Structure 1
Amino acid sequence: MSFITDIQQRFKKGTIVEKLIYVNLGVFILTFLFNTFGFLINYNGNFITDWFILPATFEGFITKPWTIVTYGFIHTQFLHILFNLIALYFVGNLFIQYFTQRQLLSFYFLGTLFGGLIFLLSYNYFPAFTDELDRSYLLGASAGISAIFVGIATYAPNYQFKLPLIGYVKLWHLAAIWVLLDFIQIPGNNSGGHLAHIGGALFGFLYVNQASNKKINFFDRILELFKVKRKPLRTVHKSKSRKTKPTSKSTKADYQKKVDVILEKISKSGYDTLSSEEKAFLFKQGKK
């Protein structure tokens, strides 16, 4: 029982990235438990996959409409969930350096939704998938992760990673390679998965652009349906102390100018290049 209690405590105290990882792992374990029970009672199927993965046909989707989201938590292969959760851990933690945890959850769910829509539309309207339609389905967290990855790459394209044997690589380069690999692999064995990844990536790109471009307002209605209030994209840091906000307009303008300079520096060179004074200043402003 102490192990279960420890997991519960870690889940409660964890970030939204860690909670999503725990949920995906939990569903993965349940999938295999149901698979074993099904074998023992001679049931040719699995309750989790039968009811929560997204079918390619419109008829199948209409009978199980919740699968447009639930498929994003289902994995049936160890390597599939391993690579997805490693990607979620790294891009998710980078994402919450700039955005709120609520926004990450919105990206994950709505990226999954858009990935599912692209999958359904592609399989029902492109002739290439006619023969595969009745036996195809979609599962996995990759569409939601693609939305998070491309979203943060759109917001901070010049953020740099130092890769072994390669050197510094900008975030937008990695995101572009990510999307390109999905595109060129569409004719392969996992066409639906790659199409869903592109759908999630498209959502991440358009959502971030919506933050500064009021002409794109389509996503606001969708967010209302999910009861998710979109906040302005901003850097958030936790702090135990609260400071009084500056009252004069000139002081506010000076503070905002300093914040803008620091954020521009982060977008070009990464958070680690900030001085200790700049990190401390940004840390305090995150709670205002």
Structure 2
Amino acid sequence: MFDSLIRDIKYYYRMGDSLIKLLYVLIGSFLVLLILGAFTPKGSDFMFVLYSYLKLPSSFSEFIIKPWTLITHVFVFSSVWGFIFEVMLLWIFGRIVSDLINQKRILPIFFITTVVSGILFLIFSSLLNYHSTYFGAKAPALAMAVIAASIAPDYSLRFILIGDVKLKFVVMIILIFELLSLASGYDLVFKLTSFSGALIGAVYIYMVKNGIEWKNIFSREKNQFANKSRTSSRKSPLTISYKASESNKKGSAIDKSNINSEVDKVLDKINKSGYDSLTAEEKEILYLASKK
């Protein structure tokens, strides 16, 4: 039974897209630290020392000694509930970003937001005389939320007791709660750093609309979004371009020469009626475009 579970985990990881693999790593790191903490004897400083090598320190002098913490801090969580909340945000908003504008953008958005927010934490700590550590994935989660809301503001999310709520309102409520938390003044630098993720997400949207693509930091692929966005008259703030490939062996009836206009129509329909309103063919168009 255990072997079967391991095989299933390996299979879904191998077959998953960038978002799935990222979530696997986050969940895995959380479980490893949780198990280590559970088996560490009381009175031992093992976990304290381990966390000191993973969390981002507030002082530049300590950071220079442990520069890897600029990345590793994102894999450390404050609590079980904090972990669940941040991973759920990443899953919900990351899935929208992945489905609508290309799953290749997920990792650049996540890690660049992680690095930039970490640098901002060091700056804020120096300016405000803050002495503690920073950790967690709330900054990239908020970045994903803002990007998703900018792409498809009228996309509907269904809640059990409330029903359908437009994405822009969901993100707005989350940001309002974050601002209220900032206004309390408690642990200001930590919370300000987390909120910076939302600002980084807004900067991402602005940069991509002006032809600067973050994923090109990891790839030399030409930014086709910039060329398309200057000529397209569609309403959505982002454009998906698709390059025809011989790999599509399903014999789809989609006219690939008109794929961009088809994607535009699909995105407009999502904005108006939500993802669930799409037909099977429209979902296939979106899937093919996201795999470009």
Does the CA-based 8 Å contact 1:118-1:195 persist in structure 2? Answer: no
Q: CA deviation at 1:81?
A: 1.1
Q: Is 2:16 the partner of 1:14?
A: yes
Report the CA distance shift for 1:244/1:285 in structure 2 as closer, same or farther (over 3 A). Answer: farther
Q: Is 2:282 the partner of 1:278?
A: yes
Q: Is 2:236 the partner of 1:234?
A: no
Q: Is 2:200 the partner of 1:203?
A: yes
Instruction: Tell me what 1:256 maps to.
Output: 260
Does the CA-based 8 Å contact 2:254-2:285 persist in structure 1? Answer: no
Q: CA deviation at 1:74?
A: 0.9
Q: Give the residue type in structure 2 aligned to 1:205.
A: A
- With normalisation by structure 2, the TM-score equals 0.77
- Distance between the aligned counterparts of 2:9 and 2:291, measured in 1? 29
- Distance between the aligned counterparts of 1:230 and 1:34, measured in 2? 44
Structure 2 residue corresponding to 1:212, chosen from 209, 217, 221: 209
Does the CA-based 8 Å contact 2:240-2:289 persist in structure 1? Answer: no
SS in structure 2 at match of 1:169: strand
Instruction: Tell me what 2:235 maps to.
Output: none
- Distance between the aligned counterparts of 1:193 and 1:158, measured in 2? 31
Does the CA-based 8 Å contact 2:156-2:275 persist in structure 1? Answer: no
- With normalisation by structure 1, the TM-score equals 0.78
Name stretches of at least 5 consecutive residues in structure 2 with no aligned partner.
Answer: 226-238
Show CA shifts across 1:66-111 (max 9, x none): 2112111112421111222222222222222113222111111112
Q: CA deviation at 1:263?
A: 1.7
- Distance between the aligned counterparts of 1:156 and 1:54, measured in 2? 33
Q: Is 2:139 the partner of 1:143?
A: yes
Q: CA deviation at 1:151?
A: 1.0
Instruction: Tell me what 1:52 maps to.
Output: 54
Name stretches of at least 5 consecutive residues in structure 1 with no aligned partner.
Answer: none
RMSD of the alignment, in Å? 3.3
Instruction: Tell me what 2:228 maps to.
Output: none
How many pairs align? 271
Report the CA distance shift for 1:242/1:146 in structure 2 as closer, same or farther (over 3 A). Answer: farther
Structure 1 residue corresponding to 2:72, chosen from 45, 70, 73: 70
Q: Percent identity?
A: 28
SS in structure 2 at match of 1:39: coil
Does the CA-based 8 Å contact 1:116-1:199 persist in structure 2? Answer: no
SS in structure 2 at match of 1:52: coil
